[in-house]
Structure 1
Amino acid sequence: MLKKVLHANAYALLFALAFAACKTSKPVSSTTQQQPGLAKSQGVYQYSNEDPTVKPFYSDRQGVIARNGVVASAHPDASRVGTEIMKAGGNAVDAAVAVQFALAVVYPAAGNIGGGGFMVFRDAKGNAYTLDFREKAPGKAHQNMYLDASGNVMQGLSISGHLASGVPGSVDGMVEAHKRFGKLSWAQVLQPAIDLAEKGVVLTEREANGLNRVKKDLMRINPGKSYFMKASQTPGDTTAWAKGDVLIQKDLAAVLRRIQDKGRAGFYEGETARLLVSEMEQGNGLISAEDLKNYHSVWRDPIKASYKEFSIITMPPTSSGGVALLQLLRFVEPYPLRRWGWNRDSTVQVMIEAERRVYADRAKFLGDPDFVKVPVGQLIDRAYLKHRWTDFSFAKATDSKAVKGGTIPGYESLETTHFSIVDREGNAVSITTTLNGGYGSRVVIGGGGFFMNNEMDDFSIKPGVPNMFGLIGNQANAIAPGKRMLSSMTPTIIEKDGKLFMVVGTPGGSTIITSVFQTILNVIEHGMTMQQSVNALKFHHQWLPDKTTFENGAFTDQTIRALQGRGYILEQLTNTLGRMDCVLVRPDGSYEGASDPRADNTAIGF
C-alpha cells in the first residue's frame, strides 16, 4: 500500500500515516534483498554483503572516551590547549576561546582572528544561546561592487585580494562569549596561543603542503612580505615547507598580546587596527577604522525544534545551516531510514530530494535578519514541507530546473573549521569559524601576520550567479553596507529526553549542511557510534548544479545503478567531504569525542 501511495505522490497522506505505515509495509527499494546494508558485529557496523573488502567508512579510527571533558578540533595542538584549560578549572567556553585563538596560530588555513563564525552554547542546566560573530560588509561596500560597467561579474575580486574581505568578527565574538560565560581570566585563556606563536608550531604534513600550495598566491598578493615563507640558505630566497618544520609567528604573537592586554580594543582599535586599515588602504580594500570600531557580534535566539524524540538546538540566520538542517530532518522524518539501511537507494533518494528543495529555499529566502525578513518558522513548518514534497516520486529524479524556492504567504523577497567541546559539568559548545576559502583572501596583514577572510564572496554578488562553492543567491543575500553575508555553517547541539546528547559540526562550504545532516542520521537512524558516523563515507547535493557528488565507496554498485536508472546524475569525488569534530554523550554518561580522519583533526579527552 505504501508503495502505491508514494508513487502517487500523496506525501500528505504519508505524513498522516507516518511510522505506523512504515511498520506495516515493505521498504520502497528496488534492491531490498540484494543490496548490502550495515550489520552490527561486536559493536562495529560493517557491510553485510558478499564482498568483505568493501567498507562504509573512510577509516577505522576509534573515538576518544572521556568522563571529565573532551575537545574535538581540526588540530592536535588546539585540542590539547582546550583540554589543558579545562584541567586548570576552566569551563567549555573558556576552552572554546582558547581553542579559537590557538587555531589562529596552528591552523592558518582556516583558524583565524581575521574571520568570523557562529557559536551554539548549551549550559549544564539546559539553557541554550547562540552568538553570531559573522563578518560584515564594510561601510563603503555596495550591491554592484563586483560588476563591470556592463553588469557582468569581474571574476576573482570577491575571492582573492583586499576587496574580498569583510569586517572580522572572531575577536569580538570570543570577547563576548568569555565575558558572559567564562570562568578563568581572559589573560589565562589567551596565553596558550601566544606561547604557540612565539615558540613555534611543528607543521603537520597537511599544513606544510597547504602552505607550499598557496606560496605563489601569497607572493603575488603580498609583495615584499615574507609571512608563511620558509627561508632558504640563499638570502632573499624561499624553499618548500616539510612535515616537522617549525613555524614561528612573532608579529601574530604581538597582536595576540595586545588582545590579551586590552581585550576587544586590542584588535578593533589601537596598533592592530591601524595595521589592518593601512593594509586595506594599500591594497584598495574597503575596511576602515570606523568599520572596525562599529563591529559587534550579536546574541540571537537559537532555533530549537524537534526531530522525532530529539530536540535540535542550532544556529539561526545569518547562518542558513540551522534552518536547512531542520528542513532536511523533517523532510525525511516520516520515512523508515533505519529499516531501509545506510545509503541504500531509497534512503539516498529521499535525502537527495530533500537537499534539492532545501538549497532552493536557501537561495530564495535566507539572508541577514537585520536587513531582510527571514521566515524561519514557516520554512521549518511541517505543513509547508509537506507542500514542498508533492512533486516527489520514487520513480524518477526531480529536475532541479523545475524546483524553485517555495511560496510563503505574506513573504516579500528582497575554507572553515569547527570544534566541539563538552566539560565535566555538561556545558557544551559548538563553534564553526572561517576565513571562507582556504587561507581566506590570501592577504596577510603587514605587521600583524594574520590572514584576512574572503567572506564577501558569500554574498550574492549578482542574482543567479554562483559563488566559489557553486551556491546560487538572490536579493535576500545582496551586498549592503554593514550587512552580514549568508553562511552554510551549521554548529548544532542535540538533546534527547531533555539531556545533552550530541555536539556536531564541520567545515566544508556548501557541503557543511549535508555533512552535518548525514552525521546526525548515522547515529540516530543507523546506530553508529559517534566516530563511526564521522568516519562514514558521505555524499552531497545542493540543487544546482543538478548532480550528486559522493566519496569513493559511499555507494554500492547496486545503489549507483538504481539511482542512475531513475535519472540521478552521480559524480564520484577525487577528494573527501567534511571535517567533522563531534561529541556524543554515551548511555553511561561518558563522552565519545570523534575527530575526522580525513585531515589532522584530533579529539582529546580526560
Structure 2
Amino acid sequence: MQHLIPRKYCFIAGMLLLAGIVLPGCVRGQLGRDSSDQYYNGMVVCAYPDAAKVGVEILKKGGNAVDAAVAVQFALAVTLPEAGNIGGGGFMVYRSGRGQTNTLDFREKAPATASANMYLDSAGNVIPGMSLSTHQASGVPGSVDGMIQAHKKYGKLKWADLVEPAIRLARDGFKVTKRLADDLNRNAADFQKRNPGKKYFLKDTKWQEGDLLVQDDLANTLELIKDKGRDGFYAGKVADMLIAEMQTGKGMITKEDLKNYHSVWRKPIVGMYKDYKIITMPPPSSGGIALLQLLHSVEKYPLSKWGFNKDSTVQVIVEAERRVYADRSKYLGDPDFYKVPVDSLLRPAYIDSRMKSFDWAAATPSSSIQAGSFVGYESDQTTHYSIVDREGNAVSITTTLNGSFGSKIVVAGAGFLLNNEMDDFSSKQGVPNMYGLVGGKANSIQPGKRMLSSMTPTIVEKGGKLFMVVGTPGGSTIITSVFQTILNVIEFNKSMQSAVSAKRFHHQWLPDVVNTEKDALDSLTIDKLTKKGYKINPGAGIGRVDAILVTKWGYYQGGADPRGDDTKMGW
C-alpha cells in the first residue's frame, strides 16, 4: 500500500537527501528513482548548457518563467547560432500558475515587396536555392519584438537584467561543444561563400571542442537592445546595418518593414486527449491543429496495451499522420490573410471520418489520400525551450531561423544571422519545400503575411493542474515528435527523460515513406509493416525534444534530448 506524502514533506525529504541524510526506503521510493532530476522551485530545459544556466540564474534572482525565457532566448542567440536567434522568429505558449493561458505569435513576416511568384523563373519553375541561401530568403525578424512583448505583459525583472547575461556570453566568449565545433566546421565553406569579406564563425584552423567563440559585433547589437528595447533593433544603428546588408544582395527587407513588424497575441488552440487538456499554438502554426487531430485520431485505440513502437501502434499512428499532413497542405496558413477552418478541422466527427478508410490489412497509399472536405469551407533548424518557475508559471517556446544557421548570411557589423523562412511559404503549389512539405493557396506568398510553421510549443494539464511543457525543433517532424512524446508519457508510462530519449518515427503524407531513427523499430515490427506495404526508411535522429513533467508529488522532472547538447537544470 502506498502512503501519500504531502508536497511540503516531499520538499523537506528532498533537502535531507541533498544533505546526505539517508531516508527510509518507502520515502526514497516516493521521491522517485532519480531525485537529482526532480526540482521544486523551477526548471529550464533548452538546447545549450550555458543558456540553461542563464535561465536558472534568472529564476533564482526572483524572475518568473517569462523573465527566464527572455534571458534564455538572447543567450541562445549567442550560444546556438544554428537556431537560437535575434534574426528569426517563433511562438510562445504561456500558462500562469493559476491556469490562465495565452499564446504569442512572433513569427517572421514577408516583406512588403514580396510576391506570390517571386521564386519562379520565366517558365514558372522554382529557382533552386533562391528561397534558402540568398538575401531574398529572409522574412522580417520577430524574435526581439516577441521578447519585448512577452516581458511587457508578464515579466517581473528589469529588461536590462535579462539581456545582460547574453551580452557577457558574446563579449567574453563561451566554450563550444564538440557538436557545435563540428557544425561550424561543416558549414565553414558556406559561411565564406555567402559572406565575402566577413570573418564571422570562421577561424584559420578547424574549430575544436573547448575553443572560445567571441562575438563582439553581436554583443554590441545586444547592448543596443538592452538600452533601447525595440528601437535597439528595429530602428537606429542595427536597422541601418540590416538594410545595408539587404542591399548587398538584392534583399527585400526595408526600414518600413522593420517599423511595421509587430508580434500578435492569439487565443490558444485547446482540446482534450482522454483526461488531459492540450494547450497549444494556433495558426500560423500548423502544429496545434495537427497535434489535436493526431491525438483524437488515435484516442480510441488501445495503444498502451499494444505497446511502445509495436506494429499495431506504429500502423495507427502512421495512418493518422498521413491524413493530418494532407489536411495541413490545403487548409493551414496565416489566419490574418486566410480563413483557416479551425473548428471544422477539429470537429471529432470529421477526424473520425478521415480514419474510416484505414485498413488493418494494408497501408493506405498517400496517392489515394487528399485533404478532407466539409460543409461550409471556402476555398532543420529550430530550437525549443521549456521553463517552469516556483509559482507554476510555464512557458513553452519554439524559435527558428528555418535551416541550420538560417541563410548562413550574417549582417555585417551587427553579427547576427539572417533567417531563410521565406522557404516555408509555398513557392509554387504542389512543389515541396526544404522539408518535403507541399502546400497551396492557403500558404502562398503575400506581402506582410506570416509563413506557415510546424512549430508546436505545447502545455498539457491534468485535473486542472500543470502536467507537462513540451516542444521540439525538427522542421516537418516537429508535430510528430511532440505527439509521440506526449503519448510516451500518457500511454506508455515513461518518465520525462525516457519519453524524450525514446526512438521516434515520422510520416508526413508526401513522400509516402515512414522515416525512423536507427533501431526505433525491431526487425519483427519492420517485417510485419513491410508486408502490409509500408516503406520503412531508417535514418538520422528525429527532433530534439525539451520538456518538463510535473510529478504526482509536485516536483519538476526534465527531459533534455540526448540528440543534441540539450541541458536540463533546476533548483
TM-score interval (norm. to shorter): over 0.9
User: Which residue is 1:208 aligned to?
Assistant: 181
Equivalent residue of 1:239, what SS? coil
Per-residue deviation, residues 51-103 of structure 1 (Å, max 9, x unmatched): xxxxxxxxx99982111000000000000000000000000000000000000
Tell me, in whole angstroms, the C-alpha distance in 2 between the residues paired with 1:61 and 1:132.
Answer: 36
Matching residue of 2:501 = 535
Distance in 1 separating the partners of 2:36 and 2:545: 12
Matches within 5 A, 1:207-356: 207-230=180-203, 238-356=204-322
Q: For residue 10 of structure 1, what is the aligned residue in structure 2?
A: none
Q: Report Cα offsets for 1:5-30 as digits up to 9, x if no partner.
A: xxxxxxxxxxxxxxxxxxxxxxxxxx
**Secondary structure at the counterpart of residue 588 of structure 1:** coil
Aligned to 1:566: 532
CA–CA separation in structure 2 for the residues paired with 1:201 and 1:484: 34
In structure 1, give the amino acid aligned to 2:415.
Answer: G
| Cα contact 1:456–1:485 (8 A) shared by 2 | yes
* Counterpart position of 1:601: 566
Is contact 1:61–1:531 with CA below 8 Å preserved after alignment? no
2: distance between equivalents of 1:363 and 1:357?
10
What is the correspondence of 1:7-156 to structure 2 with a 5 Å cutoff?
64-156=37-129
User: What code does the residue aligned with 1:141 have?
Assistant: A
2:547 match: secondary structure: strand
Query: Is it true that 1:358 corresponds to 2:303 in the alignment?
Result: no
Identify the residue that residue 578 of structure 1 maps to in structure 2: 543
Deviation by residue 1:536-575 (Cα, 9 ceiling, x = unmatched): 00000000000001011111111111101111000110x2
1:378 shift after superposition: 1.1
Q: For the structure 1 residues 563 and 63, does the alpha-carbon distance in structure 2 shift closer, same or farther, using more than 3 Å as the test?
A: farther
Q: Deviations over 1:193-247 (max 9, x none)?
A: 00100000110001111111111111111100001111xxxxxxx2211101001
Q: Which amino acid aligns with 1:204?
A: T
Q: In the superposition, relative to structure 1, how do residues 404 and 63 fare at CA in structure 2: closer, same or farther (>3 Å)? A: farther
Pair 1:383-2:349 in alignment: yes
Measure, in 2, the Cα distance between the counterparts of 1:284 and 1:193: 31
Decide whether aligned partners of structure 1 residues 536 and 344 sit closer, same or farther in structure 2, where only a CA change above 3 A counts: same
Q: Provide the secondary structure at the position in 2 that maps to 1:435.
A: strand
Identity %: 62
Change (3 A) 1:365 1:590: same
1:511 maps onto 2:477 in alignment: yes
SS of residue paired to 1:421: strand
**3-state SS of 1:604 partner:** strand
Partner of 1:36: none
How far residue 310 of structure 1 moved from its aligned partner, in angstroms, is 0.3
Which TM-score applies when normalising by structure 1? Answer: 0.88
Alpha-carbon distance in 2 for matches of 1:303, 1:61: 34
Paired with 1:343 and 1:227, the residues of 2 have a C-alpha distance of 43
What's 1:30 paired with? Answer: none
Are 1:176 and 2:149 matched, yes or no?
yes
Partners of 1:295 and 1:563 lie apart in 2 by 48
1:374-397 deviations in Å (ceiling 9; x for gaps): 011111111001111121110100
Deviation track 1:315-362 (CA, whole Å, cap 9, x = no partner) reads 000000000000000000000001111111111000000000000000
Q: Does 1:493 align with 2:493?
A: no
Give the letter aligned to residue 88 of structure 1: K
Q: Residues 63 and 530 of structure 1 are in contact (CA less than 8 Å); yes or no, is this contact kept in structure 2?
A: no
In the alignment, the residues of structure 2 paired with residue 342 and residue 63 of structure 1 have an alpha-carbon distance, to the nearest angstrom, of 27
Q: Which runs of 5+ in 2 are unaligned?
A: 1-28
Counterpart for residue 456 of structure 1: 422
Give the structure 2 partner of residue 50 of structure 1: none
Residue of structure 2 in register with 1:588 after alignment: 553
d(CA) in 2 for partners of 1:411, 1:216: 48
- Mapping 1:151-162, distance limit 5 Å: 151-162=124-135
Instruction: Tell me the amino acid that sits aligned with residue 408 of structure 2.
Output: R
Q: Which runs of 5+ in 1 are unaligned?
A: 1-41, 44-59, 231-237
Q: Give the counterpart letter for 2:164 in structure 1.
A: Q
Q: CA deviation at 1:412?
A: 1.6
Residue in structure 2 matched with residue 523 of structure 1 by the alignment? 489
Listed one character per residue, the Cα deviations across residues 285-306 of structure 1 (whole Å, up to 9, x for unaligned) are 1000000000000000001111
Q: Name the SS of the counterpart of 2:402 in structure 1.
A: coil
The aligned residue for residue 164 of structure 2 is 191
The DSSP-based 3-state class of the residue aligned with 1:191 is: helix
> Equivalent residue for 1:57?
none
CA 1:381/1:70 → structure 2, altered by over 3 Å: closer, same or farther? same
Residues 61 and 535 of structure 1 are in contact (CA less than 8 Å); yes or no, is this contact kept in structure 2?
no
Structure 1 residue 402: Cα displacement: 0.7
Q: Distance in 1 between matches of 2:95 and 2:338?
A: 28
For 1:189 and 1:441, locate their aligned partners in 2 and report how far apart those are by CA, in whole Å: 27
- Counterparts in 2 of 1:62 and 1:148: CA distance versus 1, 3 Å: farther
CA distance in 2, matches of 1:62, 1:100: 28
Closer, same or farther: CA 61–198 of 1 in aligned 2, 3 Å:
farther
Distance verdict in 2 for CA 1:63–1:281, change over 3 Å: farther
- Taking the aligned partners of 2:36 and 2:564, their CA distance within structure 1 comes to 15
Q: Residue type of the partner of 1:240?
A: K
* Residue 400 of structure 2: aligned partner: 434
Could you tell me how far apart the structure 2 residues matched to 1:344 and 1:418 are? 28
CA deviations over 1:150-209 (Å, ceiling 9, x no partner): 100100000112010000000000000000000000000011000100000110001111
Contact kept? 1:531, 1:595, Cα under 8 Å: yes
Counterpart of 2:308, as a letter, is W
**In 1, Cα distance between the equivalents of 2:107 and 2:99?**
25
Q: CA deviation at 1:468?
A: 0.1
Q: How far apart, CA to CA, are the structure 2 residues paired with 1:411 and 1:243?
A: 54
For residues 485 and 201 of structure 1, what CA distance do their matches in structure 2 show? Answer: 33
Q: Secondary structure at the match of 2:489?
A: helix
Query: 2-side partners of 1:306 and 1:541: how far apart?
Result: 23
Q: Distance between the aligned counterparts of 1:446 and 1:279, measured in 2?
A: 6
Residue 138 (structure 2) aligned to one of 165, 180, 188: 165
In the aligned structure 1, how far is the partner of 2:36 from the partner of 2:435?
Answer: 31
In 2, Cα distance between equivalents of 1:275 and 1:410: 48
Q: TM-score, normalised by structure 2?
A: 0.94
Please tell me the root mean square deviation across aligned C-alpha atoms, in Å. 1.2
